[in-house]
Amino acid sequence: MGRGVSAVVVLDAPRGTLRVDLARVRVQRKSLLEIAGVIGLPPGLHRVEVNDGERGAALWLQVEPGRLVVKAWDAGLLVDPDPFRTAQVQGLAAEEGLAEHLAAYPAGANAPWPALVAPLERLGPAGARLHKRDPDGFAAPLEAALEGTHGGRAPALLGELAQAFLAGFVDEDEAAQERWRHLARAVLTGADLVGAHPQLFDEATALLVAQLQLLPVELSPDAACADDARRLAEAFAAHPHLAAAGQRLQEHLAQRGLG
């Protein structure tokens, strides 16, 4: 394995496909070591999922340049293999013999991934927490989420928006899907708050557009909130540094036929 090249190896992986971030790659076990995995992961936060058709297990990893992660599939779980097998894989990597057993990281299919996880990476190891609801007593849903739930901390709100999407539509958690829809609607209907929180709206718009583009219209709130979203894009016009955010949102609405 070349200097600075990162890889995830799964021993005893069931035949079929392995999902890394948003894309699936075919599992090819070509040796007695029963190796499968992905090589060439860019630095950052990644999700690896193995599924045998009946059971699945996912692993979140912070990948650093040159990091080699070795796991084993064991009755539906991803576990640390015994030290001897780990050493075998490390030896194969040192001899430059590992790459031929692994699939290349599907960079094209995963092009949206960095935008989806950027708010989580900014939060660091603490990560984001999903909330069931926001407190009452606020004039707007976005105020309730930002001030009531997150104490005015915009990075925490953006982290929850990112985490709710990934848990909802990648991990297929229905409660997380509903939380994400609520937060997405809160942003899209928040035109009156743009002046008070321009940086939040700049970052939230970039994240939301990346998320919405991955979903069919029937699963996303932008159709129901189209009028509000157009009003939000118009509100950005009063803030020159939000011009790019407004253009992103308008282009997305046009692509959906909602412009």
Closest CA to 99 of 11, 38, 15, 25: 38
Same-domain status, 227 and 131? yes
| Residue 30 falls inside a structural domain | yes
| Residue 2 falls inside a structural domain | no
* Beta pairing class for 103-104 and 35-39: parallel
110/69 Cα distance (integer angstroms): 20
pLDDT per residue, tens digit, the chain (259 aa), is 556 679 999 998 887 778 999 998 877 655 555 678 899 999 999 999 998 878 889 999 999 998 999 999 998 899 999 999 999 888 888 877 788 888 899 999 999 999 999 999 999 877 789 999 999 999 999 999 999 999 999 999 999 999 999 999 998 899 999 999 999 999 999 999 999 999 999 999 999 999 999 988 776 776 677 888 889 989 998 898 999 998 888 888 888 777 6
Which pLDDT score is estimated for 28?
64
| Residue 180 falls inside a structural domain | yes
Same-domain status, 142 and 70? no
| Residue 198 falls inside a structural domain | yes
Q: State the CATH number of the domain containing residue 93.
A: 2.60.40
Same-domain status, 89 and 174? no
Closest CA to 37 of 94, 129, 102, 112: 102
| Residue 28 falls inside a structural domain | yes
* pTM metric for this prediction: 0.89
Which pLDDT score is estimated for 125?
74
Which pLDDT score is estimated for 29?
59
Same-domain status, 128 and 248? yes
Residue 239: φ, ψ to 5°:
-130, 100
The residue out of 51, 75, 104 marking a domain boundary is 104
Same-domain status, 220 and 173? yes
Closest CA to 165 of 155, 152, 180, 182: 180
Q: Please, which residues bridge with residue 59 across strands?
A: 48
Same-domain status, 149 and 74? no
Which pLDDT score is estimated for 38?
92
Same-domain status, 209 and 99? no
Residue numbers of the domain that contains 52: 7-104
The residue out of 104, 123, 139 marking a domain boundary is 104
Same-domain status, 121 and 80? no
Same-domain status, 170 and 243? yes
Q: How many Å from the N-terminal Cα to the C-terminal Cα in the chain?
A: 48
Q: Please, which residues bridge with residue 45 across strands?
A: 62
Q: Which amino acid is at 58?
A: A
Which pLDDT score is estimated for 51?
85
Same-domain status, 144 and 82? no
Which pLDDT score is estimated for 215?
86
| Residue 1 falls inside a structural domain | no
Same-domain status, 73 and 48? yes
Which pLDDT score is estimated for 176?
96
The residue out of 45, 79, 104 marking a domain boundary is 104
109/101 Cα distance (integer angstroms): 21
Query: DSSP assignment of 45-106, as one string?
Result: EEEEEEE-SS-EEEEEEEE-TT-EEEEEEETTEEEPPPHHHHHHHHHHHHTT-SGGGSEEP-
Which pLDDT score is estimated for 99?
83
Query: In total, how many domains does the chain have?
Result: 2
Which pLDDT score is estimated for 253?
82
